[in-house]
Amino acid sequence: MTTPARVRFAPSPTGFFHIGGARTALFNWLYARHTGGQFILRIEDTDRKRFHPEALQDLLDGLRWLGLDWDEGPEVGGDYGPYLQSERLAMYQHWADWLIEQGHAYRCYCTADELAQMRDEQRATKQKIGYDRRCRYLTAEERAQKEAEGKSWVVRLAMPTDGVTTFHDAIRGDITFDNKEMQDAVLLKSDGWPTYHLAVVVDDHFMEISHVMRGNEWIATVPLRWQLYKALGWEPPIFVHLPLILKPDGKGKLSKRAVRSPDGELIPVFVHEYRERGYLPDAVVNFLTGIGWALDGETEIYDRETAIKAFSIRGIQASPGRFPADKLAWMNSVYIRKLSTDALLEALLPFLSTDLGVDEETLRQDARLRLLLPDVQERIKKLSDAAPWVEFLYADAITIENPKDLIPRKTTPEQTIAGLTRSAELLAGLETWDEASIEAGLRDLVGETGLKAGQIFSPIRTAITGKRVALPLFISLAALGQAASVERIRAAISQVPAADG
Ligand code: GLU
C-alpha cells in the first residue's frame, strides 16, 4: 500500500507557463493520483517585481487545459490555505522572529552600499565573495545602538560555518555540501517580505507536503533549507529532483526559446502555444510523461490512467532527458486519430472558424464538412493543419494558382480538356449524388476515353480544389455538391494552358 502523498506545484508566475514547468506539475499530479493523495497548487509570488497577474492566469488556464486538476490551491481553496504566498506574510514573519529568539537567525543591518563595499574589498584582496557575517557577531550593545538609530534590517539564517550538510534525494541518493561554501542567506527582507527560502520551508511544513518534486536546478537550495528545517525542529519532506530537460540536440537546457524538430518544424515551449497551434492536451501530457520517465521502455502511447497506475518515483531517471521534439507531431496525430468524428469536429471548430472565416455554428451544422472529416483526420498532425484540406468547400470560386497543375504527366492539354469536358457532362447527368455513384460514373469514363484513371481524376481534383494534393476525389465531389462541382470543372477547362504554355 502506498501512503497518500501530499505534493505541490509551486510556480512563481513571472512569465508564460513553460513546458518544463508543466512537466514538473504533471509528475506531481501523477504521483498524487497514483497514491490517492493531494496535488496542491501554491503560488510563489513573493518576488513582487517579477510577479505578473496575467502570468498567474496563463498558468491556471494552462493547467486546466492539460487536465491537471489541483485539489487545493487558488480558485478551489482547501484547508491549508491561503495558497498565495503574498497572503501568508504574517506566518513568515512569525517564524523569522522565532528563529532569532532561538539564536538560529539574526538581524543584519548592512546597507546596500556597505555590502557593495564589502564585495569590492573582497575582490581587491582576492577573498571569496559573499556576506562576511559581520552582523552575526554584533554584541548586544551594538545591536541596541543600530536599533536606536532606526536602521533597517533583514533577517539572515546563521548557517553552520564548518562541517557538511548531507541530505537524501529520492532519485539521486545522498548528496553532501560543504558548509563552508554556504552563506548566511537572507530569510526576510527589510520590507517584511520573505525570501523564497523561508517561505517555501514554512509552507511545505504547514501544508504538510510529503514530497518536494521539482526541477533539478533547485537542488543547490536544499542544504540551506535542510539547515532551516533543523533550526526550526521540523521534519523535512522527501526531496525528489526531476531530471533536467535538454534541448532536442542535447546541447544545453531547454530555455524560453522555441526549438526545432529534426524536420525543421518550430516547436513551442510555452503551454498556451501548444493549445493555440492545435496540439491535444492528452497528446501533450503523454509526450511530457515520457521526459524522464518511461512506462516500460517500449510503449510510447498510453493514456493518463495507465500512467497514473504505473507511475513511481523509482521509475524517474536521474540523468537529463532530451526534449523529444521529433515525437510531438507523431504523438499528436495518433491522438487526433483516436477522436470520434464528433469530438474531432468540436476540437477543430475554433481553428477552422478562424482560418476559414466561417462561424463555428455554421461549421458544426455543415454535413459536407462532416463527410470529409474522417479523411482529414488521417492527414493532419495538428488541429491547425485542417483548414487547407477543406477550404475548397467554403470558396466561392477556385483560383488555380498554377494552371499547369491541371495537366497530368504524360497527358496533352487536349486530352486534359477532353477528360474534363466529359467528366462535367457525366457528373451533370448523375441522378444520385453520392460517393459511390460518382466513382462508378468516373470509372466508366476511363474505359470510354482510353485515358488512364489518374489522367481523368487528377485534373478534376485540381479543378475543384485548386490544388494537386487534396482529399480523395469522390468524397470531395460528394461533399462539394453537384452544381458547384460541375461549375468548377467547366471553369477549369478554359484555364488549361496550351502545350508548353
Ligand atoms: N517557486 C519555485 C519556482 O518558481 C519553486 C521551487 C520549488 O518547487 O521549490 O519554480
Q: Measured in whole angstroms, how far is the alpha carbon of residue 180 from the centre of its chain?
A: 39
Q: Which of 311, 335, 359 is the last residue of a domain?
A: 335
Tell me, yes or no, whether 99 and 143 share the same domain. Answer: yes
Asked if the structure places residue 474 within a domain, the reply is yes
CATH code at position 283: 1.10.1160.10
Tell me, yes or no, whether 195 and 117 share the same domain. Answer: yes
* Whether the CB of 197 sits within 6 Å of ligand 1: no
- Give 155's strand partners: 107, 188
* Nearest Cα residue to atom 6 of ligand 1: 10
Task: Of 241, 242, 245, give the one whose Cα is nearest residue 259.
Answer: 245
Rounded distance, CA 164 to CA 178, Å? 5
Task: Of 39, 37, 43, give the one whose Cα is nearest residue 72.
Answer: 39
Tell me, yes or no, whether 146 and 228 share the same domain. Answer: yes
Asked if the structure places residue 32 within a domain, the reply is no
8, 12, 85, 212, best to mutate for ligand 1 pocket (most atoms within 8 Å of CB): 12
* Nearest Cα residue to atom 3 of ligand 1: 11
Q: Which residues contact 224 (CB under 8 A, 6 or more apart)?
A: 157, 159, 182, 183, 185, 197
Rounded distance, CA 196 to CA 198, Å? 6
Rounded distance, CA 328 to CA 248, Å? 12
Q: Which residues contact 255 (CB under 8 A, 6 or more apart)?
A: 247, 269
The atom number, within ligand 1, closest to the CA of 196 reads 1
Rounded distance, CA 100 to CA 157, Å? 9
Tell me, yes or no, whether 221 and 147 share the same domain. Answer: yes
Contact 226, 123 (CB under 8 A): no
Contact 146, 109 (CB under 8 A): yes
- Give 165's strand partners: 177
Asked if the structure places residue 146 within a domain, the reply is yes
Asked if the structure places residue 214 within a domain, the reply is yes
CATH code at position 454: 1.10.10.350
Asked if the structure places residue 248 within a domain, the reply is no
Asked if the structure places residue 153 within a domain, the reply is yes
Q: Which of 194, 215, 242 is the last residue of a domain?
A: 242
Please confirm, yes or no, whether 256 is among the known catalytic residues: yes
Q: Cell for 397? A: 470560386
* Whether the CB of 214 sits within 6 Å of ligand 1: yes
CA–CA distance from 333 to each of 130, 339, 419 (Å)? 53, 10, 36
* Whether the CB of 10 sits within 6 Å of ligand 1: yes
Phi-psi region of 445 (alpha: psi -120 to 50; beta: other; left: phi over 0): alpha
Task: Of 13, 20, 63, give the one whose Cα is nearest residue 217.
Answer: 20
Domain that holds residue 356: 340-385
Tell me, yes or no, whether 348 and 407 share the same domain. Answer: no
Tell me, yes or no, whether 422 and 297 share the same domain. Answer: no
Rounded distance, CA 281 to CA 373, Å? 20
Asked if the structure places residue 106 within a domain, the reply is yes
- Strand 266-267, strand 211-215: pairing: unpaired
What's the full length of the chain, in residues?
501
* Nearest Cα residue to atom 10 of ligand 1: 11
197 CA to middle of ligand 1, Å? 10
* Whether the CB of 304 sits within 6 Å of ligand 1: no
Tell me, yes or no, whether 197 and 327 share the same domain. Answer: no
Sole residue written with cell 460514373: 441
CA–CA distance from 413 to each of 56, 361, 425, 457 (Å)? 62, 42, 18, 14
* Whether the CB of 203 sits within 6 Å of ligand 1: no
Rounded distance, CA 215 to CA 212, Å? 10
The atom number, within ligand 1, closest to the CA of 21 reads 10
- In tens, the pLDDT along 225-269 reads 999 999 999 999 999 999 999 999 888 999 998 888 878 888 899
Rounded distance, CA 267 to CA 382, Å? 12
Rounded distance, CA 349 to CA 260, Å? 27
Task: Name the stretches of the chain with pLDDT < 70.
Answer: 1, 500-501
Helices 281-289 and 325-338 pack at an angle, to 10 degrees, of 140
At 186, which helix (H) or strand (E)? Answer: strand 186-188
The atom number, within ligand 1, closest to the CA of 44 reads 1
Q: Can you give the C-alpha Rg of the chain in angstroms?
A: 32
292 CA to middle of ligand 1, Å? 19
Helices 413-429 and 435-449 pack at an angle, to 10 degrees, of 140
* Whether the CB of 209 sits within 6 Å of ligand 1: no
Rounded distance, CA 42 to CA 80, Å? 10
215 CA to middle of ligand 1, Å? 8
Tell me, yes or no, whether 282 and 214 share the same domain. Answer: no
* Whether the CB of 218 sits within 6 Å of ligand 1: yes
Asked if the structure places residue 209 within a domain, the reply is yes
* Whether the CB of 455 sits within 6 Å of ligand 1: no
Contact 272, 287 (CB under 8 A): no
Q: Quick one: pLDDT at residue 1?
A: 60
The atom number, within ligand 1, closest to the CA of 204 reads 9
28, 42, 44, best to mutate for ligand 1 pocket (most atoms within 8 Å of CB): 44
* Whether the CB of 46 sits within 6 Å of ligand 1: no
3-state secondary structure at position 187:
strand
Amino acid at 211: H
The atom number, within ligand 1, closest to the CA of 9 reads 8
Tell me, yes or no, whether 99 and 162 share the same domain. Answer: yes
Given 151, 180, 256, 309, the catalytic residue = 256
Tell me, yes or no, whether 352 and 289 share the same domain. Answer: no
Q: Which residues contact 358 (CB under 8 A, 6 or more apart)?
A: 352, 394
Number of domains in the chain: 4
* Whether the CB of 15 sits within 6 Å of ligand 1: no
Tell me, yes or no, whether 264 and 205 share the same domain. Answer: no
52, 198, 207, 218, best to mutate for ligand 1 pocket (most atoms within 8 Å of CB): 218
The atom number, within ligand 1, closest to the CA of 24 reads 8
* Whether the CB of 240 sits within 6 Å of ligand 1: no
Rounded distance, CA 63 to CA 17, Å? 9
Rounded distance, CA 86 to CA 209, Å? 19
Q: Quick one: pLDDT at residue 500?
A: 58
Amino acid at 345: L
* Whether the CB of 11 sits within 6 Å of ligand 1: yes
188 CA to middle of ligand 1, Å? 17
CA–CA distance from 176 to each of 10, 128, 179, 237 (Å)? 25, 21, 9, 17
Q: Measured in whole angstroms, how far is the alpha carbon of residue 188 from the centre of its chain?
A: 33
Q: Quick one: pLDDT at residue 265?
A: 83
* Whether the CB of 12 sits within 6 Å of ligand 1: yes
Tell me, yes or no, whether 364 and 326 share the same domain. Answer: no
Q: Quick one: pLDDT at residue 499?
A: 73
The atom number, within ligand 1, closest to the CA of 12 reads 4
Other C-beta atoms closer than 10 Å to the C-beta of 44 total 19
* Nearest Cα residue to atom 2 of ligand 1: 11
- Give 72's strand partners: 40
Give the sign of the dihedral formed by CA 330, CA 213, CA 222, CA 157: positive
216 CA to middle of ligand 1, Å? 11
Phi-psi region of 31 (alpha: psi -120 to 50; beta: other; left: phi over 0): alpha
CATH code at position 177: 3.40.50.620
* Whether the CB of 200 sits within 6 Å of ligand 1: yes
